[in-house]
Each structure stands twice: as C-alpha cells, then as structure tokens.
Structure 1
Amino acid sequence: MAIDHASRRPAATGKPLLDTLNGHQQDVPPIWLMRQAGRYLPEYREIRATAEGFLDLCFTPEKAIEVTLQPIRRYQMDGAILFSDILVIPYALGQKLWFTEGVGPQLEALENPADAAQRLSIEGMHDTLAPVYETLAGVKAKLPKETTLLGFAGAPWTVGSYMIEGGSSRDFFKAKQWMFQQPEAFQALIDLLVEATADYLCAQIDAGADAVQLFDSWAASLAPDDVMRWSLKPLQQIVQKVKARHPNTPVIVFPRGVGPIYATFAEQGIGDALGLDTGLPAAWAREHLQDKVAVQGNLDPLRVVAGGEGMRQATRELLDTLAGGRYIFNLGHGVVPQTPPEHVGELVELVRSHGRR
C-alpha cells in the first residue's frame, strides 16, 4: 500500500535535496555523491598533505570544513556531506584507532565481551567528537542557501564488525563468532552502538545538519535472518531515537547489499530514503520501493572512472527509470580515488540537463 506523502510533508525549503527527502518531487533530481570529497580531487590532496594523519584531518575543523566544501565549489552539488569517518564512534567510546596508508583503518580489536565492557564508555563521547560538531557549524555558515548539509554515521553491524575484527574483513569470522556463540554479549555491543550513534546523529543535527545518512556498508555479509536482527532492527531503533528528538529531520539509510530485503526496509518505514547499492536493479527499486520512500543511487562508481558513452548511457537509464518519482542521483558506493574530476563534472551536467530534455 502506497504511503500518502502529501498529507505529512513539510513545506518546501528551496533546497532540492532536502525537499526531495521531505516528499517534494523535483523536475531535476538532486545530486550528491558518496565520498565526493576525497583523493580524486587535487585540492583535497593539497589539504591532506598538511595534516599529520587522517584522524588529524577529520578532527581539525578548519581543514575538515575546507574539504567538505571543495566539491560544492567545484561542482555545485545539491548536498554537502560532512567530512569524517564512521569509526570516530568507537574512537570516542575509548577504542584505539589509527589509519595506515595503503591499509586503511585499524583498531585495537575487542577480544571478548569483558574486554568491550571494560574499554568502552559513552561518557565523554561528545567531548571527543566536539571538533566534528564544530566542522558542521562551520560548513553550515559557508554553504550556499540551496545546498543541503548532510551528517552521517555508520550502522551498528558495520561499525561493530570493525571493532571486533580490528579493521576490514573478508569473512567477518571474529564478529560472527561473537554473534553466533555469544549473542547476548554481541547484543550488548550493538545496543551500546545504537545509543551512541543516535546521540551522535542528534548532536550533528543540533550543530546544523539538515539530514543524516546511516551507512551499513557490510550488511551484505549477513544472511537474511541475520540482516533482520543485526542490521534492520538496530537501524530502526536509531531512526526512531533520532525522530523522537528531531521529527522533521530526514534520515537516509544505506543497507548495502541486502537485495530484496530492501523492500522490508521500505515497508517498515526505516528512513525517509533508501540508498541503493550498485547491484539493485533500478526497475525493481521503482516497482518495490519508490512509492514508499525516496530512493538514492546507484550508478557504478567505476562507470565514472571510465567515463565516455558508457557512463552517459548508464546515467540516462537511471534517470529514465527513477526520475519519475522521488529520486536522488548518487552512486552505488563512494567515488574512488582513480576517478578523473572532469568525469564527475560531466556526470553532474548530465543529471542537471535531464529536466531540460
């Protein structure tokens, strides 16, 4: 059954992305890209070279503000997403975190439930994350009035798996051993992350975020029943907590790789929009999701690396399929470092010209 968005939508704000999230379909779909601020931009690399490390870049508001604004200046994106990382939450809870060039994020892994209980605490979290909130306020003050400011956080399953594995993983062996052998202890960790993440997102909204996105980047590693318990339910709890304090702030949920379970997310109203991963057919999303929530995505990031007619054709197909409903153009995951900046510029123009065809 379709949801009557018109009966509950807030008034239009003049921000195309925010208005789409609030139920107002646009003639030209708004566009922003995950990881739109990053190593593919020469101006980012210049700023990055002045930082002592990636965490220093995230926690130095002057630099994080500049990096967040760079793709807005270059491409006039409809959304500016906070420059930070999903792992600042475990760092703020007391877990050691560092970034190694060529390896990525690494954490001092949680060995067992007692270790987690001893090392992690939500107390003092906001003090550690104060620079993030300062960044949001600084970006807000400098954004064009039509640009939506997006905050974000990682979902409990994805963040929790990093915390247990000590970094990224191919098989999530340690995290799943906790999940299957000590489900009560694993639930306690997830519950802590639900509470911390909801508080973090609310603080981001207080600092100026117009909307927020939750990334469950590793949801595809879960079996269907486990998706329901360890991805969908915690995300639902976070959204409910955020909406209780900020009922008019939209939430985008990105449960990457869950396939047809996307329909359950939509039916249960988990978020105001669903981010679509590359593997989800656009026609399926139009049929099963778009009458219930706004949809966002899902061009393959490597299409933008390659550019040319392949990128143009794939972009036109997405727009022809989804732009008839509430739709936000984005990728199926983040911009990769090898992306030519001029290809991103062409992509933005392709989307912007769609409504003029």
Structure 2
Amino acid sequence: MSINIMPFPPLKNDRLLKAARGEEVDEVPVWVMRQAGRYLPEFQEVRAKHDFFEVCRTPELACEVTLQPLRRFEHLDASIIFSDILVIPQAIGMTVEMHPGKGPVFPNPLEKPEDIDTLDFNDPVGRLKYVGNAITLTRHSIAGKVPLIGFTGAPWTLMGYMIEGGGSKTMEKSKKWIENHLVETKRLLGLLTDVIVDYLIMQVEAGAQLLQIFESSAEHLSPEQFVTISMPYLRQIPERVRDGLQKKSIPTVPMTIFAKGAGHSLNLQAKMGYDVIGIDWTVDPVKARQDVGPNITLQGNLDPQDLYKPQDEIRQMTIDMARKFGKHRYIANLGHGITPATPIDSMHTFTEAIHSAF
C-alpha cells in the first residue's frame, strides 16, 4: 500500500536528477553530506530539547532539520532526509545510544556468530515506517524547491558498527570475523542486504527522489577484501531495488554509491549498476573520470577540512575542483560529511562558488 495520500508538488529544480541521469544542466548541482547537522545553530537548538534518535523517529522534527539548510543556503540543489544509518540495527533489535562527544554506542554488540540469531529480521522495515513518514512530510514541505535524497548504510558498514559496538578506527573485531567466521559474516551481510533493499524501496515509495548508499567503512578493507566482502552485496542493491520498484509499478530513481576509501576500485564500482559514484578527497577527479568512464556521474570531493580555510581560498579551491570534474555528469559535494565546527560562511562560499564555476 502506498504511503502517499496527496500528489507531491512539481519539482522546480531538477539539476541533481539531470546530472545523475547524464543530462545537460545549466549549473553544476551541489549539496553536502550531513548538511542538516551539528554545524547549524538552529539544529543545536532542536538537539538541546530532543534526543538524537527522537529527532530521527519524529517526522515533524526530522522534517524541520532537513529543511534548515535550505533556508540558509540559497544555492543548495538537494535536501537529504535527516536520519541515521544505524536505524537499521535498531529495527532488528539492537540498542543504539548517541553519547555526547563519543557518537553512537551499542551496549550489547555482536560478540560471536551465534548472536546473529538474537536479531529480529521479521519485518524490520515496518518498524522504520517513521522514516517513510518523515520523507513524505518533508517532500510535501519542500514544495518542489529541490529533490529529496533518501539513504542507508551499506551492509559492511552496518555490520562493523554492530560488532565493534560503535565507531572504530581499526575495525579489529569485524576483521577477525572475516578471518575466523567467513560463512557467518556473509550470512549477516546477506541478511542486512535484504533489509536494505526493502528499506530503500519503502523510501522511494514514500517520496525519495534519489538514493545514496554509504559504505563509510570501505577504507578498512583491502582492495581484495572490498571485492569479496563489500562488492557482492553492493552490486545486489541497485538491481534488487529497481526490480522491487518495477513490481510495485513505481518509477525507479537514480542511485549513488559512496564507498569512502575505495578509490582503488572505481573501475569496478562503475560496473555495479549505480548512476552516481561518490569519491572522497583522496581521489583525483581526473583519474576518477578515467577510471569510471563517460557514462557514470561523479560526486565529490572537497576535503571537509578545507572549509576551515580563508573564504577566498575556499572559493578558488572549489572552482578549481569543479573545473577538474567538468560540468557534465558531475554533482558537487564534499569528500565526506561536513564537520561540526565548520563556519557557516564557508558553506555559503562553497555552494555559491560551485554555481559560478562555469
């Protein structure tokens, strides 16, 4: 059954979708990962009154913080629904807490393969309907100003959090699972892939106009491990999502893969069925284009730390970056999420500079 009740307002700015499909654009589209977040004082005001996951689970609050950057930055060409990749582990029965100064914490992480059987894979997407409701509300509230992006974490990235008990700089425990419990590791990755596919279909049904998959922990895999541990599941996602949407007679939407730290495998990523490949700041745009060929859109890739530089330097670096990518099949973004102390002026400079680059 469709979540939508009323038709959505017509889209006024479709640069993002055109760029994702390889169509001509008047200006390079720009948005920023984590653009609705801690660097904004108005977001901090919301967080002072509400727990992080309370904001995620309350459609009205998620809608409000999704809209906040659009009010500030006139040059943004997209919004991304305010949520978190870790709502999936929550939906399959794991407790996730957001600790100030530390980030997400799992009080009871997966310690051994047998713990997989404690997870509840019975209709987890039904327990995530608040995300769909937030998308629908936000899509109406945006009133067609820009497209709305939905997203999810990728299987390997989610598995890492679930085993490590939070963010990790080494992923030591997860790597031991690969070494010592490969069959069970692949089982867990497969189960997570099933949830992700259904979750993304639900997001499109709710109104998402582009989907991004965050493989944020790809940097912890060797190139060989990326091919055997991450890619088989990343490859399934776009094919199965499109098949699922077609069975529901719902139009497909462009899909982006952002595998941070996997710049070594862009040529392989280009064959996984995604319309857009996001790259981090360690990848040269010219080489990225050579690796992926002419028929994939690239997204990225300014270092978030560059936004702490003087405004004239930010502007010049941004223009130089955009011109390396070129105007065709390019979506401007950072090479990872914007950081909490980023000056507001830097976002103004970055987004404006993109639109003046050509």
Structure 1 gap ranges (5+): 1-11
What does 1:263-278 align with in structure 2 at a 5 Å threshold? 263-266=267-270, 268-278=271-281
1:290 Cα deviation after fit = 4.8
Distance in 1 between residues matched to 2:263 and 2:13, nearest whole Å = 33
Residue 110 of structure 2: aligned partner: 110
Aligned length: 341
Residue 8 of structure 2: aligned partner: none
Secondary structure at 2:298's aligned position in 1?
strand
Distance in 2 between residues matched to 1:115 and 1:14, nearest whole Å = 47
Task: Report the residue type matching 1:243 in the other structure.
Answer: R
Distance in 1 between residues matched to 2:346 and 2:281, nearest whole Å = 18
Q: Using the aligned pairs only, state the percent identity.
A: 37
Distance in 2 between residues matched to 1:212 and 1:240, nearest whole Å = 13
What does 1:1-357 align with in structure 2 at a 5 Å threshold? 15-51=14-50, 53-76=51-74, 77-107=76-106, 108-117=108-117, 119-246=118-245, 248-266=252-270, 268-355=271-358
Structure 2 gap ranges (5+): 1-10, 247-251
Secondary structure at 1:49's aligned position in 2?
helix
Task: Report the residue type matching 2:333 in the other structure.
Answer: N
1:221 Cα deviation after fit = 0.6
Distance in 2 between residues matched to 1:341 and 1:67, nearest whole Å = 16
1:352 Cα deviation after fit = 1.4
Query: Cα deviations across residues 172-224 of structure 1 (Å, max 9, x unaligned)?
Result: 11111111111110111000110001111111111000010000011011011
**Cα 1:13/1:241, change in 2 over 3 Å:** farther
RMSD of aligned Cα (Å): 1.5
1:246 Cα deviation after fit = 3.0
Task: Report the residue type matching 2:157 in the other structure.
Answer: T
- Note if contact 1:97-1:106 (Cα within 8 Å) is conserved in structure 2: yes
**Could you state the TM-score of these two structures normalised by the residue count of structure 2?**
0.92
Distance in 2 between residues matched to 1:72 and 1:324, nearest whole Å = 23
Query: Cα deviations across residues 121-167 of structure 1 (Å, max 9, x unaligned)?
Result: 22131232121111100100011424111000001111101101111
Residue 9 of structure 1: aligned partner: none
Moved more, 199-208 or 319-328: 319-328
1:29 Cα deviation after fit = 0.5
**Could you state the TM-score of these two structures normalised by the residue count of structure 1?**
0.92
Query: Cα deviations across residues 36-85 of structure 1 (Å, max 9, x unaligned)?
Result: 0111111111111110x111111111111000011111113111101011
Query: Runs of 4 or more off by more than 3 Å in structure 1?
Result: none
